[in-house]
Amino acid sequence: MTELRLEGLRLETFRNHRDVSIQPAGGLTVVVGPNAAGKTNLLEAIAVTASGDSFRPFSWPDLVLEGEASARVGLTGIRAGARFEASLEVGSTGAKTFSYNGTRRRPSEMAGKIPVVSFVPEDLSLSKGSSDVRRNALDALGRQLSSAYERIRKEYARIVRQRNTLLRTRADRNALDAWDARLAEVGAALEIQRARLLGRIAEEMVPAHERMGAREPLVVRLLPSWSEEQVSHEEVVALGRDGVRERLERRMAEVGEKERERGHSLAGPHRDDVVFVLEERQARTAASQGQHRTIALAWKAAEAAVVSQVTGVRPVLLLDDVMSELDRSRREALSSEMLGGAQAIVTTTNLDYFDEHTLSSAGVVQL
Amino acid sequence: MLYAPPIARLLEELERLPGVGPKSAQRIAYFILRSDEQVAGRLAEALLEVKRAIHFCPRCHDFAEAELCEVCADPERDVTIICVVEEPRDVVAIERTGEYRGLYHVLGGVISPVDGIGPEQLRVRELLDRIADGTVKEVVVATNTTVEGETTALYLARMLKPLGVRVTRIASGLPVGGDLEYADEVTLGRALEARREL
């Protein structure tokens, strides 16, 4: 596995920070400070520079400190024995420039260079939230791992948007047919990609869930828009593009009338769901608060493992104030599953969430 | 900053141009102000001349100076094959490859419901009319490989096939999601050779 270590981080006029530099430790770095000190912004700066994306909804101009022309983030560190330097510059108009070792890059070209896995309190709603939370979690991971995944996802989203507009304007049948065919074709490609990715996640997530002390075994399933029943990711992959396309076409024919009534596409991967099953019951409705949290933790541990496998680099973990959301046993599970040996930057309002032994080897940054 | 009214007017007109923002407009305006009057005269004349002399070719809807465009007027071109493109600039890109000897048809855009553009806003009807007399045996669809370009290609294939004409699509070698305009000649030439049935 390729070694990756962040050694320096500098934020200039980024969000609320005028000029801040920190030197993360090789293992755990705890960033402690009161609310509104800008702890989350610090993690966001790393995430956006490394992956071109944040763990929260944002627009590029938001990243620039009020009244300033631009914001800059610089990351330095060691990757595979060599020093690297990555930077992001964002103008107040939203124009952005990524560079890696002095060369300008597109955000998509940053994929896999400095992999990060973030964990924020909102991620805890993974299994109890609505289906888009789970789709977004998969897509955010897919985007970081493969530019082809992101290309297909964007293409598909564009097709759905175009087709929805057409449905609302009650256009002629021939034009709609062409969009139907494209939705089924690109939708099938996206569904297969997602099923493959979910397969990798499940492989890591199920044992992690068990190691975290859950008594009930976890089963990860898919609920595609074309099926009344949950299916396994293997079944979707085995159908292949043609098989999924046929099912999407059949489903579109069934819901065609309803689609025109509502002016909205009802078949396709934008309607798919990931289902977590505990003792033959859907976790979404049946699980306790504690069970939901364990599922979310297991997913994050799996994400870190999958990123390592695919990129060959152990990702830097960015944990935003999640310790306060977890009880003691889950904090310990998080420490042993994710923090062991990884470089992690963790924000908190209260150092008491960490035991003395952990803190003795950690770097502490006061904001 | 306040400009003298004639400069402000020039800046305003320049900023209407695609790809020209306030800064570029200012740079162009200052260049013109510093240059000889002849420079401005030649530019103004060229602008008016192009609008006076150029019109759409009634057959392929590419730009033309004479009644028909150069390609449509050329007796050496293969009249059994038509290449469908989005914009006149795509004709230029394909001509540069030297691989293609047939005729063109410029759609004037692509199907894009969010922009309010359907087949009726494009020159689709005119294309079907050109196929009607049976001379054309093959239509090569060379719209861009964007979401809208691909969908337009599919739409055209569905409309044209029942008329008994062979419909092909330029393929491999084009970066997916890219604009035809930015593809280099070699890539485009190869893509034309490897066109596929739709």
Per-residue model confidence as pLDDT tens digits over A175-219: 899 999 999 999 999 999 999 999 999 999 999 999 988 889 999
Kindly identify which residue of chain A lies nearest to residue B117, measuring between CA atoms.
A166
Lowest mean pLDDT, pick from A103-107, A135-139, A271-275: A103-107
Question: A175–B158: do the CB atoms touch at under 8 Å?
Answer: no
Q: Is A98 on the interface with B (CB under 8 A)?
A: no
pLDDT (0 to 100) of residue B171: 67
| CB B89, CB B144: distance < 8 Å | no
Q: What is the mean pLDDT of residues A321-333?
A: 88
User: Which of these, A312, A324, A316, A326, lies nearest to A118 by C-alpha position?
Assistant: A316
Kindly provide the b/e burial profile for residues A156-184, where b requires at least 16 CB atoms within 10 angstroms of the residue's own CB: bbbbbebbbbbbeeebeeebbebbbbbbb
pLDDT average, residue stretch A323-347: 87
pLDDT at A320 over 80: yes
Residue B111 touches chain A, beta carbons under 8 Å: yes
Beta-carbon contacts of A256 under 8 Å, excluding residues fewer than 6 positions away, are none
Name the band, by pLDDT with cuts 50, 70 and 90, for residue A278. very high
Tokens found for residue A104: 């300008």
User: Span B5-53: which CATH code?
Assistant: 1.10.8.420
Q: Does B22 touch chain A (CB under 8 A)?
A: no
Helix (H, G, I), strand (E, B) or coil at B64: strand
> DSSP letter at A314?
P
Calculate helix-pair angle for A173-211, B147-160, nearest 10 degrees: 130
Contact between A342 and A317 under an 8 Å Cβ cutoff? The reply is yes
Residue A112 has pLDDT above 80, yes or no: no
The SS3 of residue B104 is strand
Q: Kindly report, residue by residue over A31-46, the tens digit of the pLDDT.
A: 999 989 999 999 999 9
Which band of pLDDT confidence, cut at 50, 70 and 90, is reported for residue B190? low
Gap from B150 CA to chain A (nearest CA, Å): 8
Q: pLDDT for B122-155, tens place per residue?
A: 999 999 999 999 999 999 999 998 899 999 999 9
Domain definitions of chain B by residue range = 5-53, 74-197
Euclidean distance between CA atoms B197 and B189, whole angstroms: 17
Those residues with Cβ within 8 angstroms of residue B185's Cβ, 6 or more apart along the chain or in another chain: B96, B97
Task: Pick from A102-111, A351-360, B101-110 the range whose average pLDDT is largest.
Answer: B101-110
Residues 6+ apart with CB under 8 A from B26: B11
Say how far residue A222 (Cα) sits from the centre of its chain.
18
Smallest Cα distance from A169 to chain B, Å: 9
Percent of chain A with pLDDT over 90: 76
pLDDT at res. A334: 86
B119–A172 C-beta distance less than 8 A? yes
| CATH architecture of the domain with residue range B74-197 | 3-Layer(aba) Sandwich (3.40)
- Contact residues on chain A for B152, CB-CB shorter than 8 A: 178
- pLDDT greater than 50 at residue B183: no
Are residues A20 and A42 in contact, defined by beta-carbon separation less than 8 angstroms? Answer: yes
What pLDDT score does B182 carry?
45
Structure confidence at residue B188 (pLDDT): 62
Beta-strand ranges (E) seen in chain A are 4-14, 17-22, 28-32, 70-79, 82-91, 96-100, 103-105, 116-119, 218-223, 273-278, 281-282, 316-320, 344-348, 363-366
pLDDT value of residue B9: 94
* Minimum distance, in Å, between the CA of residue B68 and any CA atom of chain A: 31
Q: What is the mean pLDDT of chain A?
A: 92
pLDDT of amino acid B195: 67
Contact A178 B155 (CB under 8 A): yes
Smallest CA–CA distance from B176 into chain A, residue: A151
Strand partners, B167: B139
Question: Do A309 and A277 contact (CB within 8 A), yes or no?
Answer: no
Residue B181 pLDDT grade (very low, low, confident, very high; cuts 50, 70, 90)? very low
- Mean pLDDT score, A57-61: 93
Q: Where do we find the tokens 């080897």?
A: A361
**Partner A contacted by B145 (CB < 8 A):** no
Residue of B117, B151, B156 to mutate for A, most A C-beta atoms under 10 A? B151
What's residue A171's pLDDT? Answer: 67
Query: What pLDDT was estimated at residue A153?
Result: 92
Q: How do residues A64-83 score in pLDDT, each as one tens digit?
A: 999 999 999 999 999 988 99
- Please answer yes or no on whether B154 and A178 come within 8 Å at the CB atom: yes
Sign of CA dihedral A103, A107, A108, A112: positive
**Sequence-separated contacts (24+) of A95-103 with Cβ below 8 Å:** A95/A60, A96/A60, A98/A49, A98/A52
Q: Quickly count: other Cβ atoms within 10 Å of residue A42's Cβ.
A: 27
- CB contact B113 to A (< 8 Å): yes
Q: What pLDDT shows up at residue A173? A: 80
Domains in chain A, start-ordered, CATH in brackets? 4-115+317-366 (3.40.50.300), 124-289 (1.20.1050.90)
Mean pLDDT of A297-314: 92
Under DSSP, the state recorded for A251 is H
Residue A318 in this model has a pLDDT that exceeds 70: yes
pLDDT of B189: 58
- Considering only CB atoms, A182 lies closest to which of B119, B154, B159, namely B154
Over residues B25-49, mean pLDDT: 94
Distance CA A233, CA A238 (A): 9
Which among A165, A177, A182 has CB closest to B150? A182
What average pLDDT does this structure show over A24-29? 93
Ranges of beta strands (E only) in A33-125 are 70-79, 82-91, 96-100, 103-105, 116-119
Name the average pLDDT for chain B. 88
